[in-house]
Structure formats: structure tokens, C-alpha cells
Amino acid sequence: MAISKRVAFISNADSPDGHAVARQFANDGWALVLNTANRGFDPAERLSGIEQETPVLLTNSSLSTTAQVTDVRDRIRDQFERLDAVVHNHNRVERVSIESCSVELAQEVLDENVKSAFLCTQILGKFVAESGGGAVVFVGSIHDQKPTGSAFLFSVSKGAIQMLSKEAALELGRMGVRVNVVEMGPVAGDDERFRSDISDVYLDYRYRVPAAELGTYEDLAKTIRFIVSDDAKYLNGADIRLDGGFTLHYLDHKMKR
């Protein structure tokens, strides 16, 4: 069916950042394609009310093969006939060192975080272009440049996505599709997520933010809202660092306590 609403795809809707982004899009009147990578989820429980607010298509795909992503695209085309925005937010973290990491685990994480990003860009990005243009947004991380000291595969994958976004911005930008990255900084729980035996970067990490206040996934959702809007029509190939100044704190000066 043809639909007058703009349509957004979220690659990992069953995650805290995916929930926040989905709700922001729904509040703004977008139709949604909500994908979950590894298992189905109950929208009534996890995304309460969204289906009542706006049309929703649920998909369940790892997005790890051309056939899978093509199938998702075809389902979007059948239901909505268009796609205006792609949000790729696969963020698998495994605390493992280079020394101890198996080849199998490395392949799993890179497939989940990076291969899915490539396929979404190639197949869904082209569909956005065919729909008249729009935006692709990668939820990246400050660790695309800064080591974690605990989860090197996450850093490697986010570094790869940063350059993927720039190459895609050149190609898809010629077709009216803007491609940008949000380099997400620390949120509550990241001290455990990136717990390290060799780095103190997340020790008292809230105080490494100059305002001594951590960001939230709602902050991320609002930033993505701007990126996909017409107000950001000249924003392409950019890395938007959303960290409250966290990565500026490399001098040995007093934290705000």
C-alpha cells in the first residue's frame, strides 16, 4: 500500500537505543520498520503503544546475508512502497583481548556489527535513493578512534563503519541520500559494559564529562531526529560526536565532582 508518512528502518529495535529512536520517530509521525536481529519481540511489551500511534512493520533478521536484507527490503516495498531513513544501530560488545580472541568470535562480531552495516547501506540505502532520497545514520561510538582497553572488536567494527559511512556518503550522496555517523559517548552502565583490567578510562567516568552528567539514549534519538530532518540537508559524511566532552578529558586536571 502507498503511504504518505515517511518510513524509517531501525536495524536493532529491540535494544535500549533502538527503543528510544523508535519512540522519537513515532512521536514525529513516521511509519516504522522495526527489526530485531536474533529473536522476535513483543511490541506490546517492549514498544508499548507505538503500533497504535503509527503503522509498524516487524522484521526478524540478522541482516548478515544479501538474501536476508533483500527480503527485508521487499517486505518494506510491499507494505509501504518507500523508505526514507535507515538507522543502523548494531552494537555487539564482547569483552575479550586480542591475545585471547578466537577467530570464530571475531568473525561473529564483525559480521553482526559491520557486515550488516555494509548490506543495509548497499541494499536499503539504494532503496532510499529510489524512494526519492533521505538519510542513512550509523549509531557509532567514540571508540571508533579511542581504544576501550576491554572490547577491541567493538572498536575495530566502529572504526570500519566510520570509513564505510564516508565512502557511502560520496556514492549515495549523488543520489540524494545523506550518510552520517553519531559517535555515541558514555551512558549509564558503560563502566560495566567496558570494564577493563588495563584501562581506567571508565573509572569515575561520569566526572570525565565536563558537566558531570552522562548522556542518554533519548539524547541520541533527538540527534538522529535532526540528522534525518530537512534542517540537516547539507549534512553528509559527518561524524557527530555526542559525548558531552568526555573525550576531551585527557589532561590531568580536576574533575567536576
Q: Would the pTM count as exceeding 0.75? A: yes
Residue-level pLDDT at 50: 74
Q: Give me the DSSP letters along 29-61.
A: T-EEEEEESSS---HHHHSTTHHHHS-EEEEE-
In whole angstroms, give the CA distance from residue 257 to residue 249. 14
Domain ranges of the chain: 7-248
Task: Provide the 3-class DSSP secondary structure of residue 253.
Answer: coil
pLDDT tens-place string over residues 65-102: 999 999 999 999 999 999 999 999 999 999 999 999 99
**pLDDT per position as a tens digit, 25-67:** 999 999 999 999 765 555 456 666 676 678 999 999 999 999 9
Query: Where in 144-248 does DSSP place strands (E)?
Result: 177-184, 239-242
Identify whether the C-beta of residue 108 lies closer than 8 Å to the C-beta of residue 157.
no
Which residue in 222, 225, 91, 87 sits closest to 158, CA to CA? 91
Higher pLDDT, 113 or 4: 113
Tens digit of each residue's pLDDT (9 = 90 or more) over 104-162: 999 999 999 999 999 999 999 999 999 999 999 999 999 999 999 999 999 999 999 99
Which amino acid type is present at position 123? I
Instruction: Please indicate whether residue 225 or residue 38 has the higher confidence score (pLDDT).
Output: 225
Is 123 within 8 Å of 130 (Cβ atoms)?
no
Please report, as a single letter, which amino acid is at residue 220.
L
* pLDDT tens-place string over residues 166-198: 999 999 999 999 999 999 999 999 999 999 988
User: What's the mean per-residue pLDDT of the chain?
Assistant: 92
In CATH terms, is domain 7-248 a member of 3.40.50.720? yes
What's the pLDDT score for residue 249? 76
* Percentage of the chain exceeding pLDDT 70: 90
